[in-house]
Amino acid sequence: MHKITVLDASALGQNLKLNRLSDFGDLMIYKKTEDFEIEERLKDSTIAVTCRTPIPVKNLRKMKKLQLISIAGPDKNIINQKEAKNNKIIISSIPDIYSSARAQHTMSMLLALTGNIKFWDNYIKKKHYKASGFFSFPFKNNIMLHGKTWGIIEMNEAGKKTAELAQAFGCNILYHNHDSAPKDKRFKKADLKTLLSESDIISVHSEMNERNDNMIGLREFSIMKKDAIIIAEGAGGVVDETALAMALDDRRIAGACLDHFQEEPLNDNSPIINIRDPDKLVLSPGCGELYKESMEQLVEELILNVKAFVNGEKRNRMF
């Protein structure tokens, strides 16, 4: 009989039927697991499920009964694959089910910023609208997307779907890939410097690795247009947050949207929390994946991965 332990059910959203995993063994579900709790919670487990909780190398070496780690989230780097393989632990992951949700969230954040949605919502709810005597508020302009140039950094699946949405809004698309990914003939490819200098909107969809660490910093912000907006939808750390705060405060760029951060949860002392004009910034805590339909699909994939392992079948294994 397998013993299945879910380390961070709260990261998977609300009302998801993780109890279906009990069909495959004794099930223990934890809402959240701290680093110091991992060893105790996994010491007798044969199957571990984690969404965002890393399992450190020191724990992988001690987990003699652990046979499978099923990653139920977008970040496959939370487990050291080499160490898991050395300890004969199989890793399964979820295929790309987030690209549509991430593209939608990218657009949602941008529309909130360019339409000043936070400002208008607050303006009415605090009864300033009635008190103003104006039918509308002519002193704060929204920004249209039609005719703007949108630069996509990393034309992966989320990047492609974002480009399609941007095109539907009448944007002209540029894109840049850091690797040898196939060209997308629908859109114009550009080197990074050209994309940064010519784009009105820039969305970054890159995963985090050594090459992409602080990829967008002071030098890159200095190349951008003064009225440019940057959206960091991919992994935290790709955009240098200190440099971003300086760029916003110094009016080197007009605005920014971030869904992931260098440190999660975002530290209260982060420079981007303390910029002078918070209306220039839209933030969300990794919500690009947290859409009802994509999370339901994630759980279905997780169930199938665990079921396949229990039945001796290979499915979505990383090695």
Inform me whether the pLDDT recorded for 20 exceeds 80: yes
Strand pairing report for 201-204 and 229-232: parallel
pLDDT tens-place string over residues 51-95: 999 999 999 999 999 999 999 987 788 999 999 999 999 999 998
Closest residue by Cα to residue 211 from 194, 226, 192: 192
Q: What is the pLDDT of residue 132?
A: 83
Q: What is the pLDDT of residue 180?
A: 65
Q: What is the pLDDT of residue 211?
A: 74
Cβ proximity of 315 and 92 under 8 Å = yes
The strand pairing partners of 91, in sequence order, are: 69
User: Three-class SS string for the chain?
Assistant: CCEEEECCHHHHCCCCCHHHHHHHCEEEECCCCCHHHHHHHHCCCCEEEECCCCECHHHHHHCCCCCEEEECCCCHHHECHHHHHHCCCEEECCCCCCHHHHHHHHHHHHHHHHCCHHHHHHHHHCCHHHHHCCCCCCCCCCCCCCCCEEEEECCCHHHHHHHHHHHHCCCEEEEECCCCCCCCCCCEECCHHHHHHHCCEEEECCCCCCCCCCCECHHHHHHCCCCCEEEECCCCCCECHHHHHHHHHCCCCCEEEECCCCCCCCCCCCCCCCCCCHHHEEECCCCCCCCHHHHHHHHHHHHHHHHHHHCCCCCCECC
Q: What is the pLDDT of residue 138?
A: 61
Inform me whether the pLDDT recorded for 137 exceeds 70: no
CA distance 21 to 263: 31
Mean pLDDT of 97-113: 96
Average pLDDT, the chain: 93
CA distance 35 to 166: 41
pLDDT tens-place string over residues 195-211: 999 999 999 998 877 77
Q: What is the pLDDT of residue 225?
A: 98
**Which pLDDT band holds residue 242 (cuts at 50, 70, 90)?**
very high
Q: Which of 44-53, 104-113, 258-267 has the lowest mean pLDDT?
A: 258-267
* 82 vs 11, residue with greater confidence: 82
pLDDT tens-place string over residues 159-185: 999 999 999 999 999 999 976 667 888
pLDDT tens-place string over residues 289-311: 889 899 999 999 999 999 999 99
Inform me whether the pLDDT recorded for 313 exceeds 90: yes
220-251 burial: b if 16+ Cβ within 10 Å, else e: bbeebbeebbbbbbbbbbbbbbebbbbbbeee
Torsional class of 194: left (φ above 0), alpha (ψ -120 to 50), beta (otherwise)? alpha
Q: In the chain, what are the domains?
A: 3-97+292-310 (3.40.50.720), 99-283 (3.40.50.720)
**Which pLDDT band holds residue 15 (cuts at 50, 70, 90)?**
low
Q: What is the pLDDT of residue 121?
A: 92
Q: What is the pLDDT of residue 13?
A: 75
